[in-house]
Amino acid sequence: MSSPYDAGQHGMPEISTCLWFDDNLMEAVEFYTNVFPNSAIRKVSHYDDGRVLAAEWTLDGRSFRGINGGPVHAGFTETISLSVSCADQSEVDYYWDTLVDGGRPDACAWLQDRFGLSWQIVPVRLYELLSDPDPARSQAAGEAMMQMQKIVIADMEAAADAAVS
């Protein structure tokens, strides 16, 4: 089925995540754009009284939008989270420690930041260990992960290695 908005007719649509804040949108946007490389605030609009209404920004090249929409009825929940794939332990440590500051850690690589937004800080090595062709190694790595908040790659590798000893 062809859409009237297929590429070539109207260009490609941009899909971005939109986040609702009570009244601290700019504090969050400034924080997030300072945490991630290749990030910038693109646009800010204001209410008639000068307060920030909405903003558009990029985090590592990905588009986001946000509004100061007033009191949030449900707030952010874990049903929506942002996942950060990390190359190594130093990246895990940086993103985890920076984002959890003022927030709260949770199990298995999850945290909530100071604004209540949920993040998963996941080393690529986690996926490799969990998909290890040796079921004993994979299971041991998964069991180790279940005991962690911030993922420690060396501890997961040690658990996987011990499963085959």
What's the whole-model pTM score?
A: 0.87
Calculate the alpha carbon distances from 95 to 3, 101, 109, 138, 148 in Å.
40, 10, 11, 25, 16
Which pLDDT does position 4 carry in this prediction? 54
CATH class of the structural domain 76-165: alpha beta
Which pLDDT does position 124 carry in this prediction? 97
Rounded Cα distance, 156 and 130, in Å = 10
Across 153-163, average pLDDT? 97
Domain ranges of the chain: 11-74, 76-165
91-109 pLDDT, tens digit each: 999 999 999 999 999 999 9
Model confidence at 77, pLDDT cuts 50, 70, 90, reads confident
User: With pLDDT > 90 as the criterion, what percentage of the chain qualifies?
Assistant: 81
- Asked if residue 118 lies in contact with residue 111, where contact means CB atoms within 8 angstroms, the answer is yes
Residues 6+ apart with CB under 8 A from 79: none
Structure tokens at 98: 């920076």
Q: Do domains 11-74 and 76-165 have the same CATH topology?
A: yes
CATH superfamily to which 11-74 belongs: 2,3-Dihydroxybiphenyl 1,2-Dioxygenase, domain 1 (3.10.180.10)
Which pLDDT does position 123 carry in this prediction? 97
Residue 164 has pLDDT above 60, yes or no: yes
- Asked if residue 105 lies in contact with residue 98, where contact means CB atoms within 8 angstroms, the answer is no
Which pLDDT does position 85 carry in this prediction? 97
